[in-house]
Chains A and B, each alone.
Chain A
C-alpha cells in the first residue's frame, strides 16, 4: 500500500472523531431561512423556535355522544399530565374557582383605572341616570341569584358593581366553552421548543400513555385528539425518516449493483463511498468551525453534492483502469479538466451565497470544501490505490453506443430549436412559489385534524399577530390601546372574531390616570345622590350600601400584573430589552387582508403574518438568487473563455448544461408545478454537473473520446441512480430535487456528443 493511501486511511478515523466532537447541528429550520438582524425578525424567529404557542399541544377529549363534560376524568388527566417531566402547564377551557376569585380580588381596586379604552366617552356614561338605574337592577338580580353571597361581598367594596365591567373584559379573553358537548378542550404546554422533535417525541408519548392509563380506569370511554406545532414537527420528522430509510436502502442496493456490474469490484464502491464520506466530513468539520454550528438543512442539501463529488473519483478510476498508462499519470492527464470542472461548480455555489439567505453561505462553504476535498483526493490519493485493481472495469458493456450513433450527425441546431421550443412553451407556465410550507411533506390529514380541533376551542390563529414596538413600556402600552380600538372596530365589522392583548390585563399609566380623573370628576355628590335614588327605585336599601368612591390606589404596573395570577394570561406577549419594548396581540379567526389594510402605514404597529413575511423574504431571496446565478453563469463563461482562450469553445463546453436547463425549466413550466428556491438549488447542481461533463467531453484529456465518454456515462449513471431514488420520497422537497437533477443529468450526458462536436480519438 502506498504511503499516501495508508496515511489517508489512518487519518479517516481521526477526521471522523474530530468532526463528531466538533459538530453542533442546529435543527431549527427557521434559523436557516431567517436572518435575525432586526428586533422584529429576532422575535419572529424566536416565536417560530421557542414561542409559547409553538410549545403547546391542543387537546380534545372526545366522548361518545353529547353530554355532561367528563370533569372527573379531565381533572384526573390534568393532575397526571402535570406530573410529567416535560410538561409545564395544563389548563382547560374554563377558569377554575380559585383562579377566578383570585383575579377578581386582584383587579377589584383597579376597576376605575382599567374601566375603558375610551374613558372620555364611557366614564361619564357610568353616571347617567339610565346607566345607574340599569346597574341597580343588575345588582338586585345578583342579590337574588344563587350567587348573592358573592355579589354582597363585591358590593361591599364596589357598590356600583363596576367590577362586572372589568371582569367581563378579562373573561372575554378566556375561553368559556359550553357545558354540554362531545368535546372537552385542554391545553398542555411543554417546556421544550415545538421544533425540538427529540424531546417532543418523549413528551407526546408520555401524554398518550397517561391518557391510556387514566382512560382505562374510566372504562376506556374517551378518545384523545391532539394538534399543535409539536405534532406537525413530529409527523414531518417521521415522514422524512421513513423516506430516508426507504430511499437509502433502494439507493445503496442500486449503487452496489451498478458498481459490481461496471467495475466488477466491491472495493471500487467502498473506495468511492470513502471519498464521498471524507469529503462530506471535511465539509462538516470546516463549516462547523467557521460558523460555530451547522444547520441540519445544510447537511441535507449538502449531501446532494454527492452528484458532483462522485464525478472526480469516477473519472479518475475509469481513466486509470482503462488506459495503459500508470494510474498516477492518467490522473495527472485529466487533472486540468477536473480542476476546471470543480472551479466552475464552486463559482456557482459562491454566487448563491450572495443571495442573503443565511443558510446559503453555509451551503456555499460546505459545497466548496466538499468539492475541493473530493477533487484533491481523486488527484493525490486515489491514483495510488488503483494499481492493484486495474482491469476490473467492465469492458463488455458498450457505454459508447450513443456516442457512435451520434458521431458525424449534425443535430446541434434541431436540438437547440427543440430546447428553445420546450422552454418557450413552458415559460408561460412558470410561476414561483415562495411558500416554504410547500416544501413540507404532505400532512393533509394532520391539517384537517388541526382545523377540526381548533374549531372546538376558542383558538388563536398561529403565525398571525399584531406586533407593537416602542421605546419603553408606557409608549408600547399606549400604542397597544390605540391598536385595540382599531381591532374593536374590525370586530364590529365582522373582520375579526377575537383578539388577546395586554389590555385589559394592563393599561398605560396615561389611560389609567385618565379613567381615574374622569371618574373622580363625574362622581359628584349629585351623582352619588342619583345613585341612591336609583337603588331605592329598585327596592334596594341605599343606606346599607357603602357610598361610591374612586379608590386611591397606585396605578397598575406590569410588575404588579406579573406577580399576580393574571401573569399567565399575558405571558409570551411582551419582550423588553434595553433598546425597545415589543408587544404582541394574538388574533382569533380573522380576515388577513382587512387587518393588513387596517394596519398598513400605522407607525409602531404592524400586522404580521409569519407565513407572508417568510414568503416575502423567500421571494426576495429568490430574486437575488436568480441575479446571483446569472452573474455566476457569466463568471463561468469568463473562466472557460480564459481557459480556452475562445468564447466559442467556452459556450460549446457549456452547451449541454444550458440546453439541459432549458429542457428542465420548460418541462417544469409545462407541468404547471410552481418553482421554488429548491428548484434553483437543483438547477444549480444540475448546471454544476453538466458543465463538468461538457468540460470533460470538450477537453478529452485522455485523447480517448470513448474512454472519456465512458467515464461521463458511469458518473451520470451513479448521479441519476442517487437522485432518481429521491423521487420515491413522500417529501416534496426531495421529489423536486429528483425531478430536476435526474432528467437534467440524463439530458446532459446525452447532449454532449450532439452539441460538442469533437473528433473521436481512440
Chain B
C-alpha cells in the first residue's frame, strides 16, 4: 500500500489556508462595534499586535458518518502564525513571511513550503486583502455581507466570487457586539463543512513566549 507515501507528497494542507484565514479574522471581532463599518473594522484589524485563542473544530464531512472533533490553540502576530492542534493528535502548523511549516511530532513528519509556491499563493490570494486591510482587494475576491444584528451579534459572510478557484464555498463568522468571534463555519462545495468554536486568550508575555517556542519547534 503506497497511500502513506502518496499522502506524504500532498503536503500542502488545505486546512492551513482555512486556519490562516481564521487567524486573520480574529483581528476583526476584537474591535467590532455597532457603529463600525467593514472599512473601519479592517483598518483596526490590521493594527492589532497579537491574537491568542483556543479553538475547537468539528468537521462534518459528507464521506463520514460521524463528525470529527479536534482542538488546540492558535497565535497570530504580524506575519507570524501558529496553530497547535493538541487533540486528537498533536500537530503544528506555522507560517512566517517566507514559509509555511507543517510538523507532526509523533510521526516525525516535517515539511515546509515557501510562501511563494504556487499552492500557497493560490490559497493566500483570498486572504491577503484581509490581512492587509485592503477592502477593495477583498471585494474583488469575495461577495461580502457584513451586518450587526439588533441583538448585538455581528455576522460576516464571505462568498468567493470564483468558486472553482476557492477551497470553500462560503465562510460565516459570528460574534457578539464588542466581543471577539465565538463561532465560524466553513462550507465546502461538496456539502462538507467545518465548524470552529473559539475562546480568546489574554495577550501576555507567556503566550508570546509559547508562540516563539512553537514556531521554533516547527522549524526543527
**Interface set of A (CB-CB < 8 Å, partner B):** 67-69, 71-72, 75, 95-98, 100, 134-135, 138-152, 155, 161, 163-165, 167-169, 171-172, 176, 179-180, 539-541, 544-545
Looking at the complex, which of B107-115, B144-152, B157-165, B175-183 is the stretch in contact with chain A?
B107-115
B9–A171 touching, CB < 8 Å: yes
Given A142-B3, A144-B68, A149-B14: A100 in contact with B9 (beta carbons within 8 A):
yes
A selection of 8 A-B contacts at a CB cut-off of 8 Å is A97-B12, A146-B16, A146-B93, A147-B7, A152-B63, A165-B1, A171-B5, A541-B62
Question: Are B5 and A147 closer than 8 Å at their CB atoms?
Answer: no
Q: Are A544 and B63 in contact (CB under 8 A)?
A: yes
The segment from B32-40, B116-124, B132-140, B207-215 that touches chain A is B116-124
Secondary structure type dominating chain B contacts: mixed
Contact A540 B5 (CB under 8 A): no
Contact B64–A146 (Cβ < 8 Å): no
Could you tell me if B167 and A167 are in contact, using CB atoms closer than 8 angstroms?
A: no
Annotate B1-22 by CB proximity to A: 1 below 8 A, 0 otherwise.
Answer: 1111111011111111000000
**In the complex, what residues of B have CB within 8 A of residue A139's CB?**
63
When distances are taken between beta carbons in the complex, the residues of chain B under 8 Å from A142 are 3, 7
Residues of B within 8 A of A68 (CB): 99, 112, 219-220
Contact with A along B57-73 (1 / 0, CB 8 A): 00101111110100000
CA gap between A348 and B116 in the complex, in Å: 69
A540-B6 in contact given A71-B99, A146-B15, A149-B14 (Cβ < 8 Å): no
Report the bound CA distance from A539 to B119 in whole Å.
31
Complex formed: what's the CA distance from A541 to B191 in Å?
Answer: 13
B102 at the interface (CB under 8 A from A): yes
Interfacial chain A residues near B117, Cβ < 8 Å: 96-97
- In the complex, what distance in Å separates the CA atom of A155 from the CA atom of B146? 36
Give Cα A148–Cα B59 distance, bound, in whole angstroms.
11
Contact yes or no, A152 B110, CB < 8 A: no
Chain A residues, Cβ within 8 Å of B49: none
Check A164 against B15 for contact (C-beta < 8 Å): no
Alpha-carbon distance between A516 and B10 when the two chains are bound, in angstroms:
27
Q: How far is the CB of A154 from chain B (nearest CB, A)?
A: 9
Residue of B whose beta carbon sits closest to that of A168: B2
The CA-CA distance from A337 to B61 in the complex, in Å, is 102
B85 to chain A, nearest CB (A): 10
Contact B110 A180 (CB under 8 A): yes
Within 8 A of A (CB), among B49-99: 59, 61-66, 68, 91, 93, 98-99
* Selected contact of A143 from candidates B4, B5, B61, B118, CB within 8 Å: B61
Report the separation of the CA atoms of residues A139 and B64 in the bound assembly, to the nearest whole angstrom: 11
Bound-complex Cα distance A16 to B12 (A)? 67
CA distance in complex: A545, B16 (Å): 25
A183 to chain B, nearest CB (A): 15
CA of A141 to CA of B119, assembled, Å: 22
Closest residue on chain B to residue A75 by CB atoms: B114
Q: Do B190 and A161 touch across chains, with their CB atoms under 8 A apart? A: no
Q: How far in angstroms is the closest Cβ of chain B from A168?
A: 2
Bound form: Cα–Cα A145–B15 in Å: 9
Q: Whole-angstrom distance between the alpha carbons of A165 and B68 in the complex?
A: 27
B11 pairs with A138, CB closer than 8 A:
no
List chain A residues, Cβ under 8 A from B11: 147
The smallest beta-carbon distance between A478 and chain B, in angstroms, is 24
Chain A residues closer than 8 Å to B62, beta-carbon distance: 541, 544
- Best-buried of B3, B11, B62, B66 by chain A (most CB within 10 Å): B3
Q: Are A179 and B66 in contact (CB under 8 A)?
A: no
Q: Which residues of B contact A171 (CB under 8 A)?
A: 5-6, 9
How far is B6's CA from A100's CA once the two chains are assembled, in angstroms?
10
Q: Which residues of B sit under 8 angstroms from A167, Cβ to Cβ?
A: 2, 5-6, 9
How far in angstroms is the closest Cβ of chain B from A146? 3
Name, among B11, B66, B93, the residue most crowded by chain A CB atoms within 10 Å (CB to CB): B11
Contact between A152 and B10, CB atoms less than 8 A apart: no
Extra 5 A-B pairs, beta carbons < 8 Å, given A97-B117, A148-B15: A69-B112, A97-B119, A146-B16, A147-B12, A167-B5
Q: How far is the CB of A159 from chain B (nearest CB, A)?
A: 10
Q: Determine the distance from Cα of A72 to Cα of B112 in the docked complex, in whole angstroms.
A: 11
Residues of A within 8 A of B91 (CB): 146
- Flag if A539 contacts B5 (CB, 8 Å): no
Chain A residues near B167 (CB-CB < 8 A): 149
Chain A residue nearest to B85 (CB atoms) is A146
Q: Bound complex: CA of A71 vs CA of B119, how far in Å? A: 15
Contacts A97-B119, A100-B9, A539-B64; A146 near B1 (Cβ below 8 A): no
Roughly how many angstroms separate A544 CA and B102 CA in the complex, as a whole number? 30
Q: State whether B220 touches A67 (Cβ < 8 A).
A: yes
Choose one: A145, A149, A165; the contact of B7 (CB below 8 Å): A145
Taking a contact as CB atoms under 8 Å apart, the answer to whether B63 and A72 are in contact is no
Q: How far does the alpha carbon of A148 sit from the alpha carbon of B193 in the complex, in Å? A: 12
Residues A164 and B99 in contact, CB atoms below 8 Å apart: no
B220's partner among A152, A172, A180 (CB-CB below 8 A) is A180
Give A138 to B7 CA distance when docked, in angstroms. Answer: 10
Residues of B within 8 A of A97 (CB): 12, 113, 117-119
> B6 is contacted by which of A67, A168, A179, A180 (Cβ under 8 Å)?
A168
Nearest 10 A-B pairs (CB), nearest first? Answer: A168-B2, A146-B13, A149-B14, A164-B6, A138-B3, A147-B10, A164-B3, A97-B119, A150-B10, A179-B110
Point out the residues of chain B lying under 8 angstroms from A541, CB to CB. Answer: 62-65
Chain A residues positioned under 8 Å from B3 (CB to CB): 135, 138, 141-142, 161, 164, 168
Bound-state CA distance A1–B182 (Å) is: 112
Give the residue among B10, B62, B110, B220 with the most A Cβ atoms within 10 A: B10
Residues of B within 8 A of A69 (CB): 112
Q: Contact at B9–A72, with CB atoms within 8 Å?
A: no
- In the bound complex, residues from chain B placing their C-beta under 8 Å from that of A75 are 114, 116
Q: How far is the CB of B162 from chain A (nearest CB, A)?
A: 16
Measured CB to CB, the nearest residue on chain A to B116 is: A75
Q: Which residues on the A side are within 8 Å of B63 (C-beta)? A: 139, 143, 152, 155, 540-541, 544-545
| In the complex, chain B residues whose CB is within 8 Å of the CB of A165 | 1-2
A144 to B194, CA, bound (A): 12
Which residues of A lie under 8 Å from residue B102 when comparing CB positions? 146
B114 — which chain A residues lie within 8 A by C-beta?
71-72, 75
Contact, CB under 8 Å: A140 / B13: no
- Across-interface contacts of B65 in A (CB, < 8 A): 539-541
How many Å from the CB of A73 to the closest CB on chain B? 11
- B83 shortest CB reach to chain A, Å: 10
A72 CA to B192 CA in the complex, in Å?
A: 36
* Cβ contact of B14, chosen from A141, A146, A540, cutoff 8 A: A146
Q: Choose among B15, B111, B112, B190 the residue that contacts A152 (Cβ–Cβ < 8 A).
A: B190
Cα A35 to Cα B3 in complex, Å, equals 49
B64 touches A147 (CB 8 A): no
B66 with A539: CB separation less than 8 A:
yes
Give the distance to chain B from A578, nearest Cβ to Cβ, in Å.
39
**A146 partner residues in chain B, CB cutoff 8 A:** 13-16, 91, 93, 102
Cβ distance B20 to chain A, nearest Cβ, rounded Å: 12
- Contact partners of B10 in chain A: CB under 8 A: 100, 147, 150-151
Looking at the assembled complex, report how far the CB atom of A546 sits from the nearest CB atom of chain B, in whole angstroms. 11
Distance (whole angstroms) from the CB of A64 to the closest CB of chain B: 15
CB-defined contacts of A144 to chain B, threshold 8 Å: 59, 68
In contact, A148 and B14 (Cβ under 8 angstroms)? yes
Within 8 Å by CB of A135, from B1, B16, B93, B118, lies B1
Which chain B residues border A151 with CB–CB below 8 Å? 7, 10
User: Among the listed A100, A138, A168, A540, which residue makes an inter-chain contact with B64, where contact means beta carbons less than 8 Å apart?
Assistant: A540
Contact A163 B6 (CB under 8 A): yes
Contact with A along B194-207 (1 / 0, CB 8 A): 00000000000000
Q: How far is the CB of A196 from chain B (nearest CB, A)?
A: 35
Closest to B119 in A: A97
Output the least CB separation between B45 and chain A (Å).
26
Question: What is the chain A residue whose CB lies nearest that of B194?
Answer: A148
Q: How far is the CA of A172 from the CA of B13 in the complex (A)?
A: 22
